[in-house]
Amino acid sequence: MTQKERQARSRHAIFLAALEEFSKNDYDTVTMDSICQGHGISKGMMYHYYSCKDDLFLLLVKELFQALAAQLEHDMQQLDGDNPLETIQQFFMIRERYFQQHPQWKNIFENAMLRPPKHLKDAIYELREPVRALNRSFLTRVCSGMPLRPGLDPETATRYIESIEYVFPSLLRQFRAEEGITDLHAMLDAMTEILEIILFGLVSQTDRNAK
C-alpha cells in the first residue's frame, strides 16, 4: 500500500468515526476524544489530519449538502409543477425521503440548520449555497405559476416558503405528535394538512374582509 493510499484510508476511518459521533450526539457534546475512543483512532493520527472537531463537523456538513443538492437536482426534474400545492408537498418530501434512506445524516442536518454553533454559522451558510440556489430556482418557478393574493409577488412567496423549509420537519412532528408518523404515507397526509394551512391560511378571507 502506498503512502497516499494509507493517508486516504486513515482519513476515511476518521470520517466514519466522526459521522457516527455527530449522527448520535449534538455538536456541543462531541469531542476529539470521543471521536477517537471506541473507533481505534489514535490521537496522533487524528491531529495529523484535523486540528479540531470544527474541521470534521464542517467536512460532514459539506458532504451532506453536496449529497442533498444532487438528490434535489435529480428529483426536482420529476416534478411538473401543474399543481402548486402538490408540487411543494413533493418538494418537501425529497428531503424527508433522503433522511429516511440515510438516517445517520439527519442529526447532523438538524445541528447545522436548527442548532448551528455561532462561530460556524457563516461557514455553514456558505456550504449550503448549492442547496439554497436549487431551492430558490425551483420555488421561484412554482410560485410564479401560483394564483397569489393581491399585493403578494412571487419573490415574496418564494422567500416565505424558503423560510419554513428547513424547520418543516419539526413542525410536522409537532402537528401530528399524538398520532405518530411512522411511514411516508402518513407523513404525506400530515404534510398536506399543514401545507394547505400555510398556503391558504386559517381565517376565511370572506369573513375577514366583512369585518
The whole-number pLDDT of residue 55 equals: 97
pTM over cut 0.95: no
Question: Which tens digit of pLDDT belongs to each residue from 142-163?
Answer: 888 888 888 889 999 998 888 8
- Whether 90 has a pLDDT exceeding 90, the answer reads no
Report the run of H or E that residue 121 belongs to, with start and end: helix 121-127
* Residue 149: Cβ within 10 Å count: 10
Per-residue three-class SS string for 86-114: HHHHHHHHHHHHHHHHCHHHHHHHHHHHC
Taking the CA atoms of residue 29, residue 30, residue 33 and residue 37 in that order, the dihedral angle to the nearest 10 degrees is 110
Can you state the percent helix, strand and coil of the chain, rounding each to 5?
75, 0, 25
- Residue 161 near residue 143, CB atoms below 8 Å: yes
- Residue 36 near residue 14, CB atoms below 8 Å: no
- Whether 105 has a pLDDT exceeding 60, the answer reads yes
Question: Which tens digit of pLDDT belongs to each residue from 16-38?
Answer: 999 999 999 999 999 999 999 98
For residues 105 and 16, give the distance between their C-alpha atoms in angstroms, rounded to a whole number: 12
For residues 209 and 70, give the distance between their C-alpha atoms in angstroms, rounded to a whole number: 45
User: Using N-to-C axis directions, what is the helix angle for 129-144 and 84-101, rounded to 10°?
Assistant: 160
Closest by CA position to 87, among listed 31, 143, 35, 128: 143
Name the band, by pLDDT with cuts 50, 70 and 90, for residue 45: very high
For residues 186 and 179, give the distance between their C-alpha atoms in angstroms, rounded to a whole number: 10
